[in-house]
């Protein structure tokens, strides 16, 4: 969803190039890893409810599958671009590598706005997407999942279409499925909880008592909601959240300095994570501009909406009180903003580490589907906590011992793991 001059793929390549240089990767490996292995662009014709046809543009990008089948979500968004999908697929490669699960990186998308489509039309987009890509995905090839504005229902329509095409049951072809249809308990919580498991570890290392901290969150969708739930369960206080107001076509920040009440705010939020402004006012929330989430005098910032939110224009608005940035969203911080964060000594838990809980739980979903035996929620979350905590510790230890920025440490670990797998296979 690139806007204006921001190009997420260029940013992903820039981040990669800097680490490739530090790792002294050879030219061929650099060339190989800085571009996706394969990508598919296709038309998805859908018969609309009024009988007319509309053609949507669909994408799937497989950045790298040296460590296992490509893995990554499918985004439905009106501003989706090929470069966003490329960037996200590359970040997925680093994400699966940093948490050390046997998967690669992929990503998909459709330029569409599900908010303006009926359920039948959304089903048409899902089934059409699969018909175009079925030959190139599969449980041992490339395994999609939900992302922004897609959910378990979309995944099940996709699975159903795939199974019709191949003629057998293939629950491992897609993750994020609904419970009872091959989904895993804990998947809804996984990304948001994962952000907070890493935040909990970071605060311990920084000797900060989580119960004395406050946070401001950008976004109020799947990632943000569960991050807020666990953070508040641990005793932290969220004083502001922002979300997109689709009526006014702008973001709004909702603030309550005594702490937001999650259940109450959820009761006035739709399934796209959009808060009903009028009802929030009635509940006593202060209404501030969308960008205000970043300026709050809090200890922790959690961007959990979109990429390119902490950039050269916004980074200097971050309050002097902020000590930790836990990146729930993919690509929320640009390299220019990173320079300022480094200078100011703000501790960053980088996106592809902090939000790796989703893909880790997707991997658990695949494992459970393969066994055809499903674990209780506590077991899923316990395994998730272990994976996230050990990945966090490996990154922070490298950051400390090599005296490097947390994002660089996470990249050093992931890129060397992926480069090594490519070398061992004899690819480059």
Q: Binding residue for ligand NAD (CB under 6 A) from 101, 156, 325, 329?
A: 329
List binders of ligand NAD among 250-269 (CB under 6 A): 251
Residue 142 C-beta: closest distance to ligand NAD, Å? 17
The yes or no reply on residue 408 touching ligand NAD (CB under 6 A) is: no
Task: For residue 101, give both structure tokens.
Answer: 């699960």
Nearer to ligand NAD, 222 or 414 (CB): 222
Residue 226 C-beta: closest distance to ligand NAD, Å? 9
Nearer to ligand NAD, 191 or 333 (CB): 191
Nearer to ligand NAD, 25 or 241 (CB): 241
Nearer to ligand NAD, 216 or 368 (CB): 216
Q: Binding residue for ligand NAD (CB under 6 A) from 162, 244, 285, 411?
A: 244
Residue 278 C-beta: closest distance to ligand NAD, Å? 16
CB under 6 A: which stretch of 16-24, 96-104, 258-266, 298-306 binds ligand NAD?
298-306
Q: Binding residue for ligand NAD (CB under 6 A) from 132, 184, 308, 355?
A: 355
Q: Binding residue for ligand NAD (CB under 6 A) from 114, 221, 236, 350?
A: 221
Q: Binding residue for ligand NAD (CB under 6 A) from 13, 81, 222, 308?
A: 222
Nearer to ligand NAD, 30 or 303 (CB): 303
The yes or no reply on residue 360 touching ligand NAD (CB under 6 A) is: no
CB under 6 A: which stretch of 35-43, 78-86, 238-246, 399-407 binds ligand NAD?
238-246
Confirm whether 107 is a catalytic residue.
yes
Task: For residue 159, give both structure tokens.
Answer: 């699975």
Catalytic residue, chosen from 71, 95, 107, 387, is 107
Contact pattern for ligand NAD over residues 116 through 155, marking x by CB under 6 A: -------------------------------xxx------
* Nearest C-alpha neighbor of 307 from the set 325, 339, 334: 334
The yes or no reply on residue 358 touching ligand NAD (CB under 6 A) is: yes
Active site residues: 107
Which residues make up the interface to ligand NAD (CB under 6 A)? 147-149, 191, 218-224, 242-244, 251, 272-274, 290, 304-306, 328-330, 355, 358
């Amino acid at each position: 969803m690139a806007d204006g001059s921001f190009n997420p793929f260029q940013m992903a390549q820039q981040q990669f190039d800097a680490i490739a240089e530090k790792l002294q990767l050879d030219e061929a490996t650099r060339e190989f890893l800085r571009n996706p292995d394969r990508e598919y662009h296709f038309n998805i014709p859908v018969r609309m409810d009024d009988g007319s046809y509309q053609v949507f543009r669909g994408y799937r990008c497989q950045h790298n599958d040296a460590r296992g089948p490509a893995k990554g979500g499918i985004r439905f968004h009106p501003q989706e671009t090929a470069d966003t999908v490329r960037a996200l697929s590359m970040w997925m490669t680093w994400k699966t590598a940093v948490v050390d699960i046997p998967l690669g990186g992929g990503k998909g998308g459709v330029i569409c706005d599900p908010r303006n489509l009926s359920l039948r039309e959304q089903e048409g987009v899902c089934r059409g997407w699969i018909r175009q890509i079925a030959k190139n995905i599969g449980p041992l090839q490339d395994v999609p999942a939900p992302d922004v504005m897609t959910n378990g229902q979309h995944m099940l329509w996709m699975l159903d279409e795939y199974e019709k095409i191949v003629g057998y049951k293939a629950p491992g072809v897609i993750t994020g499925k609904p419970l009872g249809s091959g989904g895993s308990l804990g998947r809804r919580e996984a990304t948001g909880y994962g952000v907070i498991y890493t935040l909990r570890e970071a605060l311990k290392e920084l000797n900060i008592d989580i119960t004395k901290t406050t946070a401001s969150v950008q976004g109020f969708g799947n990632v943000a909601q569960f991050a807020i739930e666990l953070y508040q369960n641990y005793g932290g206080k969220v004083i502001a959240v922002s979300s997109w107001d689709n009526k006014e076509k702008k973001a709004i920040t909702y603030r309550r300095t005594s702490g937001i009440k999650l259940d109450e705010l959820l009761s006035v939020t739709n399934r796209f994570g959009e808060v009903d402004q009028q009802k929030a006012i009635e509940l006593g929330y202060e209404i501030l501009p969308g960008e205000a989430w970043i300026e709050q005098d809090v200890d922790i910032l959690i961007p959990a909406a979109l990429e390119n939110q902490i950039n050269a224009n916004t980074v200097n608005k971050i309050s002097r009180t902020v000590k930790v940035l836990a990146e729930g969203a993919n690509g929320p911080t640009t390299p220019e903003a990173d320079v300022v964060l480094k200078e100011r000594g703000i501790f960053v838990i980088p996106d592809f580490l902090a939000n790796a809980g989703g893909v880790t739980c997707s991997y658990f979903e695949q494992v459970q589907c393969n066994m055809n035996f499903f674990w209780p929620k506590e077991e899923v979350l316990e395994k998730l906590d272990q994976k996230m905590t050990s990945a966090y510790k490996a990154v922070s230890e490298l950051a400390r011992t090599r005296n490097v920025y947390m994002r660089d440490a996470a990249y050093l670990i992931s890129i060397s793991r992926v480069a090594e797998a490519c070398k061992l296979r004899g690819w480059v």
